[in-house]
Amino acid sequence: MWVVATPIGNLGDMSPRAAEVLDQVQRIAAEDTRHSAGLLAHLGVRTPLVSLHEHNEAERVPTLLEALQTGESVALISDAGTPLVSDPGFRLVRSAQEAGVAVRATPGPSALLAALAVAGMPSNRFCFEGFLPHAAGARLRHLETLLAQPLTTIVFESSHRIRAAAEDLAGLAPEREVFLARELTKQFEEHYRGGAGGLPAWLDADRNRTRGEFVLILGPAPAPDTGGEADEPLSAEHERLLAALLQEFPLKRAARLLSDATDLPRNRVYARALALKHARS
């Protein structure tokens, strides 16, 4: 069995080896057969396609596994990029391995790694979090958690929600460095790199900037510093109040409420709230 990476936009990124594998296998499991048919036509590949997506993977695996065990060669592809990166295929790969079927990869395009390569962000440690939650409240809470992480964090986002996600980030951590890649490897590829506070305005400057596919990268949280605001305790009473507020409200609102009630600098309260939340997670 083969796991084959396909272009994320520019068809010139298809490797000769990947094209050869797709031409030589007996069946290709594809996330969307209609989408993949266009790629195969471009490559001149006539291998039969079978659908394998998040809604049918569980029921499709036994049939594909039976074919593999009888000696049939199968390739797995997604709509774009490297399969299994926020795409279906995990069940098939694991089942094949457990059945003693050799699984090999033809590496290639990946939106995740392409964005990281040009982001100018620390890459010695990073994590990938897939797509952000769809619901506004869940997205905000998840972003609060991600912003507390001391490593570069990469997420995918859709055109329907990128503006709302940008607004959330601008409100939560306007000074945090972020990188947004739009339409990687395609004709209208664009990048934003700067403070999260400026991201909504950048998107609004051109209505086309909220169209397409997006990779969003968050810079790591500042390292704890015993002399810095994030690590500096508040008074015992203020710490107690902040802890109580964090039990009842989102992080940003809790910090604002305490700052407004005590005249403590909002940046200091917010930084301390992030540190407390991260310590308890």
pLDDT tens digits, one per residue of 201-214: 999 999 999 999 99
- The band of 227, judged by pLDDT with boundaries at 50, 70 and 90, is very low
Q: Is residue 68 part of a domain?
A: yes
Q: Following CA atoms 191, 194, 197, 198 in sequence, which dihedral angle do they give, to the nearest 10 degrees?
A: -50
The answer to whether position 224 is within a domain reads no
Of the pLDDT bands very low, low, confident and very high (cuts 50, 70, 90), residue 232 is: low
Model confidence band, residue 266 (pLDDT cutoffs 50, 70, 90): confident
Per the prediction, the chain carries an average pLDDT of 92
Q: Based on the domain organization, do 48 and 144 belong to the same domain? A: no
188 and 233 share one domain: no
CB 221 within 8 A of CB 265: no
Tokens of 120: 């100018």
Within this chain, do residues 158 and 212 fall inside the same structural domain, yes or no? yes
Range of the domain at 274: 229-280
| 230 pLDDT more than 60 | no
Burial class (CB in 10 A: 0-12, 13-18, 19+), 118: middle
- At residue 62 the predicted structure's pLDDT band, cuts being 50, 70 and 90, is very high
Q: Is residue 140 one of the residues assigned to a domain?
A: yes
Interval 140-166: pLDDT, tens = 999 999 998 889 999 999 999 999 999
- Domain shared by 176 and 273, yes or no: no
pLDDT score for 226: 42
Q: How confident is the model at residue 234 (pLDDT cuts 50, 70, 90)?
A: confident
Domain at 154, CATH number:
3.30.950.10
Q: Is 56 a residue whose pLDDT tops 90?
A: yes
In this prediction, residues 219-231 reach a mean pLDDT of 62
- Looking at the fold, whether 83 and 123 belong to one and the same domain comes out as no
- pLDDT tens, residue by residue, 65-92: 999 999 999 999 999 999 999 999 999 9
On the question of pLDDT at 38 being above 50, the answer is yes
Among residues 217, 2, 187, the alpha carbon closest in space to that of 108 is found at 2
At residue 41, the pLDDT reads 97
Assess whether 8 and 74 both reside in one domain.
yes
- In the listed set 106, 130, 146, which residue is the last one of a domain according to the structure? 106
Whether 223 is covered by a domain: the verdict is no
Which of 106, 141, 157 terminates a domain? The answer is 106
- What's 99's domain CATH number? 3.40.1010.10
Please indicate, yes or no, if residue 76 is contained in any of the structural domains.
yes
Among 119, 133, 127, 167, residue whose Cα is nearest residue 148: 127
pLDDT of residue 281: 58
Check residue 240 and give its pLDDT: 87
